[in-house]
Amino acid sequence: MQAIVYYLTLPFLYLVSLLPFPLLYAISDFFFFLLFHVIGYRRKVVFNNLRNSFPEKTEAEIKQIEKSFYKHLCDMFLETFKTLTISSESMLKHCSVHPEAKALLDDLAQKNQSVVLVMGHHGNWEWGGNSFSLVCKQQLFVIYHPLQNQYFNQLIIKMRTRFGTKLIAMQDTFREMVRNKNIVSATAFIADQTPAPENAYWTNFLNQDTPVFWGTERISKKMRYPVVYVHISKLKRGYYQLSAEMLIEDAKATAEGEVTEVFTRKLEQLIKQQPETWLWSHKRWKHKRPVGSFV
């Protein structure tokens, strides 16, 4: 059944990838109408996440962010499939790398210094990985969760690796980073996923108790890699820019929880600047803080 669904869907996905951008966004507008007004996909989750995260905003402001988020979500979903056929020139036109970000990363590469990259589900992170691999000197490795559907999993791998990015399954992260230690690399961790509550670092994030994975901090300390925050901002519809900022130069020298706290605060700051482009449909606050957990 998985194979049937995949092969029936594949021609449509390639057709989407070949569409000119104006037509792509016309289809996105139609999907937005269906998703937001007809189906109401996760609207309660999105609204509650926004309401709890921004108690200072009015009801009208929350509803405007909610609507803008769904428009962005539909755009990004279709933009992702452009990776199947988009040229490298067009990719960099639609997702540029800020000169200061390139200078920072080039300087680290010149020093043969591998890095840990942290980022959130913000902007278009798929395009950000493509542009990084096209412009930056480090070999980009992205940590990912393999999909249960093996056919669509292979398609996602094909899209994400088309411009030179390599993938590491989450459970293999540390082992693969050790194996690749002689390569000048950048290993990207999406820092806003939801871990099991009993094994998480707990902090206040967007006005709510939030569990955060320890893995990024612990691995950066073990590898003695600097931690760089990468952000994909949306300039306008269909256009993004990758920026980068050094967060921690020597993770090994930090106190317990410091790396995690620093990148969580940075993510929070950037979400507040452009809230409509973060992934609000995820059930991020479904767990309660266990008694005696680390804060």
pLDDT, tens only, 221-245: 999 999 999 999 999 999 999 999 9
Query: Using 50, 70 and 90 to split pLDDT, how confident is the model at 288?
Result: confident
Task: Give residue 3's pLDDT.
Answer: 83
Q: In this predicted structure, what is the pLDDT of residue 196? A: 87
Give the contacts of 204 (CB within 8 A, at least 6 positions apart): 210
Pairing of strands 227-236, 115-119: parallel
What's the pTM?
Answer: 0.94
147-175 per-position pLDDT tens digit: 888 999 999 999 999 999 999 999 999 99
User: Rounded distance, CA 137 to CA 105, Å?
Assistant: 8
Rounded to whole angstroms, the Cα distance separating 25 from 237 reads 9
For residues 114 and 108, what is the distance between their CA atoms, to the nearest angstrom? 7
Report residue 293's pLDDT band, with 50, 70 and 90 as the boundaries: low
Q: Are 294 and 214 in contact (CB under 8 A)?
A: no
Q: Are 263 and 191 in contact (CB under 8 A)?
A: yes
SS (H, E, C) the chain: CHHHHHHHHHHHHHHHHHCCHHHHHHHHHHHHHHHHHHHCCCHHHHHHHHHHHCCCCCHHHHHHHHHHHHHHHHHHHHHHHHCCCCCHHHHHHHEEECHHHHHHHHHHHHCCCCEEEEECCECCHHHHHHHHHHHCCCEEEEEECCCCCHHHHHHHHHHHHCCCCEEEEHHHHHHHHHHCCCCCEEEEEECCCCCCHHHCEEEEECCEEEEECCHHHHHHHHHCCCEEEEEEEEEECCEEEEEEEEEECCHHHCCCCHHHHHHHHHHHHHHHHCHHHECCCCCCCCCCCCCCCCC
Q: Is 294's pLDDT higher than 80?
A: no
Q: Does the pLDDT at position 295 exceed 70?
A: no
Residues 65 and 268: their CA atoms lie apart, in Å, by 16
Say if residue 139's pLDDT is above 70: yes
Structure-model confidence comparison of residues 165 and 3, the more confident one: 165
- Count CB atoms within 10 A of the CB of residue 184: 16
Mean pLDDT of 5-31: 95
Encode pLDDT of 174-206 as tens digits: 999 999 999 999 999 998 888 888 889 999 999
Q: Per-residue confidence at 292, pLDDT binned at 50, 70, 90?
A: low
Give the per-residue pLDDT at 5: 86
Mean pLDDT confidence for 48-55? 98
Task: Collect all residues with Cβ–Cβ distance below 8 Å to 161 and sequence separation of at least 6.
Answer: 167
- What's the CA gap between 71 and 64, in Å, rounded? 11
Give the mean pLDDT of 74-91.
Answer: 97
